[in-house]
Amino acid sequence: MNFETLRKTMVARQLIPGGVNDPRVLAAMGKVPRHLFVAPALQDRAYGDHPLPIGEGQTISQPYIVAVMTEALGLAGTEKVLEIGTGSGYQAAVLAELAARVFTVERIDALARRARQTLDELRYNNVLVKIGDGTLGWREYAPYDRIIVTAGAPQLPDACWDQLAEGGRIVIPTGDRTVQTLEIVEKRNGQPVRTVRDRCTFVPLIGKDGWADGG
């Protein structure tokens, strides 16, 4: 199976027609080997327009939503980015192509370790992975120029807002546990300026400042 051809087809048939037009984002999506972030049995479906299970009740988001959220960050290449919800590590790899440094937090030990292994094998040396409650951010390396939350949150976690640099931007899906709205929140003079994007569906953001586990 020619995965490079499948990536090019994904970009041409899913991302560009869907309105993704940042050439750097399109190049990153066309480069990162998404099939290596899913189980071997699912690799032939890795470039389809759908999410896939990655174990532990979690999913890898469909390529289109990864591209939309990445484009919404507005990365120029110099940024320090915090990702909440490492999952498979695929989104972190895309970010690593576009930003200077990526810090990603995953609450599920098995997923974090598997993601770290895949990122290491692909030599994404500008990504640091932490196991912990993502709703608390990663204070040690704050402030961040950009923050991306890859799970559905009831609201913007306070720690994420506190750890965002002035002039920075957060991309986050907020809503209930089943349906959310993608929001872009910028910090201007210490105040949030919100832009609402499309409706979307993510697994719940579990943690102290998210949803209770199982509740």
Query: Pick the catalytic residue: 58, 59, 61, 163?
Result: 61
6 in Cβ contact with 33 (< 8 Å): no
Q: How many CB atoms lie within 10 A of CB 120?
A: 13
Burial class (CB in 10 A: 0-12, 13-18, 19+), 100: middle
Contact present, 99 and 83 (Cβ < 8 Å):
no
The residue type found at 195 is T
**Is the distance from CB of 194 to CB of 185 less than 8 angstroms?**
yes
Q: Is 61 known to be catalytic? A: yes
Q: How deeply is 214 buried, as exposed, middle or buried, from its count of CB atoms within 10 A (0-12, 13-18, 19+)? A: exposed
- DSSP H/E element including 174: strand 164-175
Structure token pair of residue 134: 């993502």
| Residues with catalytic roles | 61
